[in-house]
Structure 1
Amino acid sequence: KMEKKSEINGHAMPSSASTARMLENSEEPVEEDQQQQQEEKKKKRGCKERLTRFLSRNLLVILTVSGVLVGVGLGMLVRGMNLSKAQMSHFAFPGEMLLRMLKMIILPLVVCSLVSGAASLDTRSLGKLGGIAVAYFLVTTLIASGIGVALAFIIKPGVGAGALNTNSLGLESVSSNKETTDSFLDLARNLFPSNLVAAAFRSYATDYKMVAVGNDTNGTILYQKVPIGTEADGMNILGLVLFAMMFGVALRILGEEGEELIRFFNAFNEATMVLVSWIMWYIPFGIMFLVGSKIVEMEDVVLLVTSLGKYIFASILGHIIHGGIVLPLIYFAFTRKNPFSFLSGLITPFTTAFATCSSSATLPSMIKCVEENNGVDKRISRFILPIGATVNMDGAAIFQCIAAVFIAQLNNTELNAGQIFTILVTATASSVGAAGIPAGGIITIAIILEAIGLPTNDLSLMLAVDWIVDRTTTVVNVEGDALGAGILHHINQLEMKKHQQEVAEELEEVKVESVANVQAEEETSPLVMHQTKILEGMPEAIESVL
């Protein structure tokens, strides 16, 4: 009976199902409307989320760029107020604070990042990556010098500007009596500072004094120029870089004993990066006043541009060619990736470089952005970027070469092939020792001029427009470092993949060998054979018992 009832109930089911279906059909349009509304809401929400995500990710970039633009407007407004020198310095105060913060962080950042970077890479890959980095820096700087010389001969900025002299522009003359050989010897001396503590704020510089060495036949006193060592203000980053690298390698070689100190430097490094992330939020505000104060302090720009316009144009064009074409092409040749998508993640450091004119001051934000936005390995970025900020000066090499040819043209001096070669080599070598500070390259131009035997009294012309040219110079310097880090990261990844494949292949070989050995043992070992016989005989014994 129960079964029949259930059958009857079962027969009743289709009718109820059909009524439910009818109800569902009547509800379908309502549900469709609801679904459409939900989809629209999702789309709106998706757009909002995307926008907020974009803003949160690029907020610092937007603020920094707008800081520069607001700074230009602010500078133009304040320029009309005819401020006194004291008021100008007060107006520039927030910008000065930014520079002080960035410079404060350079020393711990460079030392700790290099020690931990050199210690985390094994000696073999450290040597290989170091070699590639040095080759990259040298080749790009040589190309930059070549571009500078070529542009100077094509544009001829100094031809027809012979009437220009320092007096017409009301400039102070700059004199440098440094010998070329001594400048290169100073470079070597600074690589090995005699006092590490002093290297944090002083570098070695050769000066000269005239010493009486006797009389000639007429009784006149003979003087000789004697070089004497002096301490110049300014951090000796070159010496600190070399020491930190060697120290990192030494800790690596120590093994277990050195691990605690490596951990200390790693922690110090991470703490420094946290400080950097805080400072970066002050950058937009500081940049606004840095740019504004520069515009307020400007001399008569029209006069400078009309008289030195060709020189400014040649320098900036050189930077655009090198930074916009040559460096991205080199990056693409190595990595087969889009260089401009790589560079788009570094707008904040580029803006900082443009505003501060200092590749050292840009280093903290550059390390942070390269790691976070472009995913470059920490070990690579913290090893290569501090070295690059000190050694790799592509932008400086371009404008130094243009300046040297410009001064030769001013003095109506025809440069021969030997002198051009000297300019190229000297610019490449001396840009290594150029300080990563505003107007650091002017001193190195003096070295180039000494090397080709030209007077250095026209250097004040370079100083007059240095604040214009130095901005694009620093951006190119910093771009060269960043792309170098990208290339090394790519090479390192390829090496790691190759290494992993080799390890995997070795493991497979080991597995195959171990399987073969087990089989061989089974065949030969008498114990195994005895056990197998017993096991084989077991079922029969059990059966017989049963």
Structure 2
Amino acid sequence: FQNKMAKLSKENLLLLFTVLGVAIGIGLGYSLRDPNQAWSKRHLSYLRFPGDLFVQMLKMLILPMIMSSIITSLASLDSGTAGRLGIVSMTYYTLTTFAAVFLGIVLVTLIKPGKWTTTNVEDLVGHVKTTPCVATAVDTVIDLMKSCFPENLIEATFRSQKVCLKFFNGTTEIPPEIAMTMSPEQRAQFTEVPEKIVSDGMNILGLVVFSVALGIVIGIIGEDGKPMKNFFKSLEACSMKLIGWVIMYSPIGITFLIAAQIVGMKDPGQELHRLMGYVITVILGLLIHAFVIIPLLCVVLARRNPIKFVGGMAQALLTALATSSSSATLPLSIKCCEENNKVDPRVTRFVLPLGATINMDGTALYEAVAAIYISQCVGNDLSLGEVILVSLTATLASIGAAGIPQAGIVTMIMVLIAIGLPTNLFILIFPVDFMLDRLRTTVNVHGDSIATAVIERLCEDQLQKGGHHHDTNDQGYSMLSTNASPDPKRITIGNNCENSHML
């Protein structure tokens, strides 16, 4: 009892310090702002340094945690249970993403934030930096499928590939900054050449697919796969121990991340006034999705109290708000789901890494609202067909969005291309993207966490057949059993085969 009380007190103190970190960061940011003289990038990097350390330490642990947790979880399941987990997860994620996109389109069409004020588009677009890559919806789908099967697994841990379009007039390449300002009709006059671009960044989706396949195979081959299963279980335990140390540093990192972002903004008041309608529309959509749609699914499908569940996820949600990275928040999301909300580790360690990669409800809603808002600003009223195209493209773009800060503004360019708008118009919403990026990331993490409860409930029968694994280590993390197998005295596998746990 004393150990439980000590652990509870420690968790409450950490949550309290995290909340204080957010408040102190906001106060520190506004106190250090100088309206007459902007901070240099070098000085901002000094202020952001403690926060950068926090984010980098979390990202450092993403690879070992994702692979070990997925492989260990699926190795404990029979192929039927793993298959149902995958099907239910993909179906649920697709439906919630479409719901978010539909909600965003309805709100932006009714509110019409682009008509609230007159926007000087030419002045703003004239100062925009070019984006490094142009891709169509078809290219994004192909890239998504290719990224599931990386040709080099080692390379996938630090590098990813995508297809970008380049335009040529004969043998002369059209500069990207010129090509991006052209209309689709103007681009059609030049030769369009797709080119594979290799960029730094982990191919998380490819690693997830490989880990899923390897985990299932280890479970199928039985005794021959036991050494591999034990290795990844040990790696998982080490990763979770390291994550516990990093989380203790989170209040300090969050404080300086928020302070640096506020100091770096040129004029928060003026930018917010111009984009007031857009900000209200996005926030209203995120609130409806987070406090109405998702909790309703939690009550109806998971039969759990959404208020209590969200309370258990408070620390992860605050970290998502500060870091604006669902991938960086992933270790903490797993910890909160398992320890505070008592979700089966076999579900959390499969559903959450997958959700951090493809389930971006907040990002999908934002991209739909942003594309239609920009079209309203330039006086281009979209047809019904174009609105449907926005919904489909926003869904694909959100799936392709990496779980890193401001990835949504990059994938939104694909939505602009799909409806024939110049891609450099994204500068119209860029000034407030810092704030909205944090809010939509928090909604993404919130949706992923509720998904674990829903999927655990929907797959309850299959999980019971595989036994329960809620053992905890000395640090309090929920761990799978050594052999990830059920109690041989209670459960048998197959027709007449006894579980080999005691053999």
Task: Give the structure 1 partner of residue 72 of structure 2.
Answer: 116
CA contact (8 A) 2:128 2:424 kept: no
What secondary structure does 2:191 align onto?
strand
Structure 2 alignment gaps of length 5 or more: 172-188, 468-487, 493-503
1:369 aligns with 2:325: no
Task: Give the structure 1 partner of residue 383 of structure 2.
Answer: 416
Percent identity at matched positions?
A: 38
Task: Give the structure 2 partner of residue 239 of structure 1.
Answer: 206
Offset at residue 160 of structure 1 (A)? 4.5
Offset at residue 51 of structure 1 (A)? 9.0
In 2, distance between residues paired with 1:254 and 1:470?
Answer: 44
Task: Give the structure 1 partner of residue 29 of structure 2.
Answer: 75
Offset at residue 90 of structure 1 (A)? 0.9
- Change in Cα spacing, 1:356 to 1:166, as seen in structure 2 (3 Å) is farther
Offset at residue 334 of structure 1 (A)? 1.0
Q: How far does the alpha carbon of each residue in 1:186-208 deviate from its partner, in whole angstroms, 9 at most, with x for none?
A: 11121111111111121111123
Q: How far does the alpha carbon of each residue in 1:401-452 deviate from its partner, in whole angstroms, 9 at most, with x for none?
A: 0001101111212212211111111111221110111110112211111112
CA contact (8 A) 1:173 1:459 kept: no
Alignment of 1:153-192 (within 5 A): 153-165=109-121, 167-168=123-124, 171-175=127-131, 177-192=134-149
- Change in Cα spacing, 1:185 to 1:428, as seen in structure 2 (3 Å) is same
1:66 aligns with 2:20: yes
Q: Please identify which structure carries the higher helix content.
A: 1
Q: Counterpart amino acid of 1:181?
A: V
CA contact (8 A) 2:320 2:445 kept: yes
Task: Give the structure 1 partner of residue 483 of structure 2.
Answer: none
CA contact (8 A) 1:442 1:462 kept: no
- Change in Cα spacing, 1:127 to 1:203, as seen in structure 2 (3 Å) is same
CA contact (8 A) 1:208 1:226 kept: yes
Task: Give the structure 2 partner of residue 14 of structure 1.
Answer: none
In 2, distance between residues paired with 1:331 and 1:131?
Answer: 19
Task: Give the structure 2 partner of residue 306 of structure 1.
Answer: 273
In 2, distance between residues paired with 1:291 and 1:468?
Answer: 10
Given the alignment, which residue of 149, 155, 162 partners 1:198? 155
CA contact (8 A) 1:238 1:433 kept: no
- Change in Cα spacing, 1:458 to 1:162, as seen in structure 2 (3 Å) is farther
CA contact (8 A) 2:374 2:428 kept: no
Offset at residue 146 of structure 1 (A)? 0.6
In 1, distance between residues paired with 2:41 and 2:270?
Answer: 22
Task: Give the structure 1 partner of residue 417 of structure 2.
Answer: 450
Alignment of 1:454-473 (within 5 A): 454-473=421-440
What secondary structure does 1:194 align onto?
coil
Task: Give the structure 1 partner of residue 233 of structure 2.
Answer: 266
Task: Give the structure 1 partner of residue 367 of structure 2.
Answer: 400
CA contact (8 A) 1:449 1:456 kept: yes
Count of matched residue positions in the alignment of Structure 1 and Structure 2:
454
Offset at residue 139 of structure 1 (A)? 0.4
Task: Give the structure 2 partner of residue 93 of structure 1.
Answer: 49
Q: Counterpart amino acid of 1:148?
A: G
In 1, distance between residues paired with 2:466 and 2:230?
Answer: 26
Alignment of 1:213-292 (within 5 A): 224-292=191-259
TM-score (norm 2): 0.85
1:333 aligns with 2:287: no
CA contact (8 A) 2:25 2:255 kept: yes
Q: Counterpart amino acid of 1:402?
A: V
Offset at residue 97 of structure 1 (A)? 0.5
Q: Counterpart amino acid of 1:92?
A: R
What secondary structure does 1:374 align onto?
coil
- Change in Cα spacing, 1:479 to 1:191, as seen in structure 2 (3 Å) is same
TM-score (norm 1): 0.78
In 1, distance between residues paired with 2:372 and 2:264?
Answer: 29
Q: Counterpart amino acid of 2:120?
A: L
Task: Give the structure 2 partner of residue 525 of structure 1.
Answer: none
Task: Give the structure 2 partner of residue 434 of structure 1.
Answer: 401
Cα RMSD (Å) of the superposition?
Answer: 2.8
Q: How far does the alpha carbon of each residue in 1:11-65 deviate from its partner, in whole angstroms, 9 at most, with x for none?
A: xxxxxxxxxxxxxxxxxxxxxxxxxxxxxxxxxxx9x999977533411111111
In 2, distance between residues paired with 1:240 and 1:133?
Answer: 17
Task: Give the structure 1 partner of residue 485 of structure 2.
Answer: none
